[in-house]
Structure formats: C-alpha cells, structure tokens
Chains A and B, each alone.
Chain A
Amino acid sequence: AQSVTQLGSHVSVSEGALVLLRCNYSSSVPPYLFWYVQYPNQGLQLLLKYTSAATLVKGINGFEAEFKKSETSFHLTKPSAHMSDAAEYFCAVRKNNNDMRFGAGTRLTVKP
C-alpha cells in the first residue's frame, strides 16, 4: 500500500533562509508525487508534481522538489523564504486510479 510520511509537523525559518520540508513515500513502484499548500480557511493548491518526466521538479512560487528513488524521498525546497510562504504543506502520493494519500502536513512559520 502506498503511504506518505512528512518529517516534522512544524518547521520555522527566518525570512530569506532556506526552506526544506521532508517527505518520504512508500510504494512498490514509483508513484505520482505531489506537494500541495493550504492557507488558512482555504482548499489545497498544487505547488508541483512528479510524474516521472524529470527528477527535479520546479513548481510555483519558487518551490522545487527532487525525486530520489534510492531514498524514496520527495523533499520540498525553496532557496529563500518569504513571509507569504507561511502555510501548511502537504505531500501526497497517488498510484494509477487509486485514491490520493496525504501526509500529516507540515506547518511552516516564517519569522521576520
């Protein structure tokens, strides 16, 4: 069965610092992988997706993620945090037509 583990329920960084949000997946075959962001009282917005075309995936708002099969990881990074990046981030995995499985989420706080 596919599942997702996000390491760290809360991450705090200073404005301008590197953002690193960790995600590990378990799946018998490389699945589709996603990162979503959720702002308060809103739905989920897709940041980026991995669909096997390239291991380094660039998304919106300066975020990117690297698929590492050997480590079964799909960590999300951004070189320089902005105050507007404060939100909750969810890693998700989906295989074929099965349901999307989400991690528990990581709340990112950006300090001025």
Chain B
Amino acid sequence: KAGVTQTPRYLIKTRGQQVTLSCSPISGHRSVSWYQQTPGQGLQFLFEYFSETQRNKGNFPGRFSGRQFSNSRSEMNVSTLELGDSALYLCASSLEGSAEQFFGPGTRLTVL
C-alpha cells in the first residue's frame, strides 16, 4: 500500500505570493492533518480534515487554509507569504478511530 505523498517536495516563493501544497493520504484513510515544522517553533499543528470537513484547527492566522476533496486528498494554501512561513510542511493521514498518524515526506517551502 502506497504511503502518504506530498507534492511538490520543494518550493521557492517570494513574499506576498501565495502557495498551494497537496497531500494524498494512504488509501482508505479519511483523516488528513497538516503540520508546520520550523527550527524555532518545532512541529505545530495547522488543521485536520475528515470527510471534507475541518475537524480541528491550530493557532495559525487566516492566511493558512485548507480543504479536502471527496477522494480524501487535501490541499493547504498560504496566501500573502511572509519570510516566517519558510518551513517544512508535513501532512499525515490516519484511519477513522485510530490515533496513529502516518506522515508524508513533507514539502520544503522557502520564502525569499
């Protein structure tokens, strides 16, 4: 069974631009969570989607948004990029009722 995939793996943007990251969960997994990882703040939870609905949300500004499609694939969008948005963005999927999350390789976003 294929693991969690994220595209693209690397991305370079400039301040003020917007970006969309994509995540395909493991087949059968309907829950998708997003995390931001930075050296200074560590791993921080962004949001979780289940059955196309946002179920949990972390403490990030409204510039960060996400959505989930009927096939459970998820996208996250960051608008008006800031230098501080440079990070590794990780996606994780899980089965309903399971606390265990399986992580993708991440998308490394660099904002110049």
The residues of A with any CB-CB pair to B shorter than 8 Å are: 32, 34, 36, 41-46, 49, 51, 90, 94, 96-105
Contacts of A97 in B (CB 8 A): 55-56
**Interface CB pairs A-B, < 8 A, 16:** A34-B100, A42-B106, A43-B104, A46-B100, A49-B99, A51-B99, A94-B99, A97-B56, A99-B33, A99-B45, A99-B48, A100-B33, A100-B45, A103-B42, A105-B42, A105-B43
Contacts of B108 in A (CB 8 A): 41
Contact-size category for B: 20 to 34
User: Which B residue sits closest to A98, measured CB to CB?
Assistant: B56
The residues of B with any CB-CB pair to A shorter than 8 Å are: 4, 33, 35, 42-43, 45, 48, 55-56, 58, 90, 92, 99-106, 108
Asked whether A49 and B100 contact (CB < 8 A) given A97-B55, A102-B42, the answer is yes
CB distance from B10 to the nearest CB of A (A): 10
Contacts of B55 in A (CB 8 A): 97
Contacts of B105 in A (CB 8 A): 42-43
